[in-house]
A = this chain, B = another copy of it.
């Protein structure tokens, strides 16, 4: 479980991150708002914390978790070169790129 991508592949973890967008939360709050069993919340938070997505603060018996979104930058960076592709005239751009670096210039049938 190293990759940032694997970590956000889990829907519950994404839900937790989204929940933390608005404010920090205790484990119990997350548990209630997302309707997940408490051990499950703790386990996902552990993964998120180890990967640097969240950090925790002690408040009595509670642990308050807050967002630390730096790791998401890696996803954003990976995504960057793809953005130009969905910039409206996708088709034109696609075809332009396809003309470069033709493997074998031959007749070609659309499937």
Per-residue B-contact encoding for A56-69, CB less than 8 Å = 1, 0 else: 11111010101101
| Contact indicator B6/A57 (Cβ below 8 Å) | no
Q: Are B72 and A79 in contact (CB under 8 A)?
A: yes
Contact partners of A75 in chain B: CB under 8 A: 75, 79
The quantity of this chain's copies bound in the complex is 2
Instruction: Identify the closest chain B residue to A76 (Cβ).
Output: B79
Complex alpha-carbon distance, A30 and B22, angstroms: 43
Alpha-carbon gap, A78 to B81, bound state (A): 17
| Chain B residues with CB under 8 A of A82 | 17, 21, 67, 69, 72
Residues of A within 8 A of B (CB): 3, 5-6, 8-9, 11, 14, 17-18, 21-26, 29, 56-60, 62, 64, 66-67, 69-70, 72-73, 75-76, 78-79, 81-83, 85-86, 90, 94, 97-98, 100-101, 103-104, 106, 108-111
